[in-house]
């Protein structure tokens, strides 16, 4: 019996029928050496109809932990769905990934140029191709990121408030924290929101670094969402998270009062009380030792791991207001 036209998925000119696996090249431009750049999109389809989930990482080229999470989903076969379709894009900013830089060679942050343009900058062209060729085919996006250089994020999901559908998916994912945050102008998340495409943004760890706890949180959360959607094969188990997810309405950065050598003594994910010692700032000559104390009670969701800080540098990101759950 021939396939129905509506059953055939077409991405970048390639047709993928139900039950098929295919690797499609997301090519945009060559390197400056004229060498071609192959950016694979891994597509796995079940014979049974169902949702289409897109896993993305590497929008920032230095955020390798997100790439590792999607790599494990592929390597372990978690991306082979029981029903529906799973699309994996482990490295979107391949140019930044090659050089371990956050931005594109044109100096632009890909996550600030969406929805892009077919005739714009290199970053803008990549953004446009992703929005124009990939997003129309998907029902849910899970996008993996890390903290910046030297700033370690606790595993967390981010999206804007008052989105019940994403709250349900976030509970299914089971990350330690959900941090409600406004949609940023020209970001991938904002573009998906405007297109009516639900997106869970995962943050965990820091750039230039792969952390096993963060990786496990991302992989296990992905399995739980797929199980929630009926897409996880029975060969994989979806374990419940050890603790309930904490939903954070508001948070703020605590900044350094002095410049000096910094050492945090309290890790991410810790619940602290106002006045608790979180770390200390010293000088190279042993003349002072300043204890950094929590300015408010809450959960620590990001820690600055830089050994040198200046007055005004962000040290700890601490929750200030939690969402009441019933």
Handedness of CA 94, 98, 102, 106 (dihedral sign): negative
Does residue 74 register a pLDDT over 90? yes
Q: What value does the mean pLDDT take over residues 289-299?
A: 98
Res 6: pLDDT: 63
Res 325: pLDDT: 64
User: pLDDT tens for residues 156-180?
Assistant: 999 999 999 999 999 999 999 999 9
Q: What is the pTM of this model?
A: 0.95
What token pair was written down for 103? 């931005």
Res 212: pLDDT: 98
Residue whose C-alpha is closest to residue 111's, from 99, 129, 124, 97: 124
Beta strands in 46-172 (DSSP E): 52-57, 85-89, 140-147, 151-159
Does residue 77 sit in helix, strand or coil?
coil
Other Cβ atoms closer than 10 A to 293: 14
Residue whose C-alpha is closest to residue 240's, from 212, 262, 220, 214: 220
User: pLDDT tens for residues 177-220?
Assistant: 999 999 999 999 999 999 999 999 999 999 999 999 999 999 99
What percent of the chain is modeled with pLDDT above 70?
98
Domains of the chain and CATH, by start: 5-228 (3.40.630.10), 252-322 (2.40.50.100)
Separation between Cα atoms, residue 43 and residue 52, nearest integer Å: 10
At 1, the pLDDT band (50, 70, 90 cuts) reads very low
Separation between Cα atoms, residue 24 and residue 307, nearest integer Å: 43
Does residue 290 sit in helix, strand or coil?
strand
Res 4: pLDDT: 45
Res 89: pLDDT: 98
User: pLDDT tens for residues 120-131?
Assistant: 999 999 999 999
Separation between Cα atoms, residue 49 and residue 311, nearest integer Å: 56
Does residue 104 register a pLDDT over 50? yes
At 152, the pLDDT band (50, 70, 90 cuts) reads very high
Query: For residue 64, what are the CA distances in angstroms to 127, 137, 164, 208?
Result: 19, 26, 30, 6
Res 298: pLDDT: 98
Q: What value does the mean pLDDT take over residues 7-13?
A: 94
Separation between Cα atoms, residue 187 and residue 117, nearest integer Å: 14
Separation between Cα atoms, residue 79 and residue 89, nearest integer Å: 11
């Amino acid at each position: 019996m021939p396939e129905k036209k509506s059953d055939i998925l077409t991405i970048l000119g390639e047709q993928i029928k139900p039950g098929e696996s295919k690797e499609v090249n997301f090519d945009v431009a060559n390197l400056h050496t004229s060498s071609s750049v192959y950016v694979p999109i891994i597509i796995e389809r079940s014979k049974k109809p169902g949702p289409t989930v897109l896993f993305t990482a590497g929008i920032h080229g230095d955020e390798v932990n997100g790439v590792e999470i999607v790599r494990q989903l592929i390597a372990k076969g978690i991306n082979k769905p029981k029903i529906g379709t799973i699309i994996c894009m482990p490295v979107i900013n391949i140019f930044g990934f090659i050089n371990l830089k956050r931005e594109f060679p044109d100096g632009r942050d890909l996550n600030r140029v969406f929805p892009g343009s077919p005739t714009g900058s290199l970053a803008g062209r990549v953004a446009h191709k992703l929005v124009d060729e990939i997003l129309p085919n998907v029902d849910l996006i899970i996008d993996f990121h890390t903290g910046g250089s030297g700033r370690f994020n606790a595993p967390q999901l981010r999206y804007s408030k008052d989105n019940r559908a994403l709250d349900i998916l976030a509970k299914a994912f089971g990350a330690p924290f959900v941090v409600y945050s406004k949609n940023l102008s020209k970001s991938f998340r904002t573009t998906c929101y405007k297109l009516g495409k639900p997106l869970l943004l995962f943050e965990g760890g820091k750039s230039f670094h792969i952390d096993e706890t963060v990786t496990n949180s991302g992989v296990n959360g992905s399995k739980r969402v797929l199980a929630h959607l009926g897409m996880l094969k029975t060969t994989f188990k979806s374990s419940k998270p050890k603790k309930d997810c904490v939903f954070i309405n508001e948070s703020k950065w605590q900044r350094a009062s002095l410049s000096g050598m910094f050492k945090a003594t309290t890790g991410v994910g810790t619940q602290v009380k106002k006045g608790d010692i979180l770390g200390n700032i010293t000088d190279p000559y042993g003349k002072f030792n300043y204890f950094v104390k929590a300015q408010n009670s809450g959960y620590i969701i990001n820690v600055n791991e830089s050994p040198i800080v200046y007055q005004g540098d962000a040290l700890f990101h601490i929750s200030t207001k939690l969402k009441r759950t019933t």
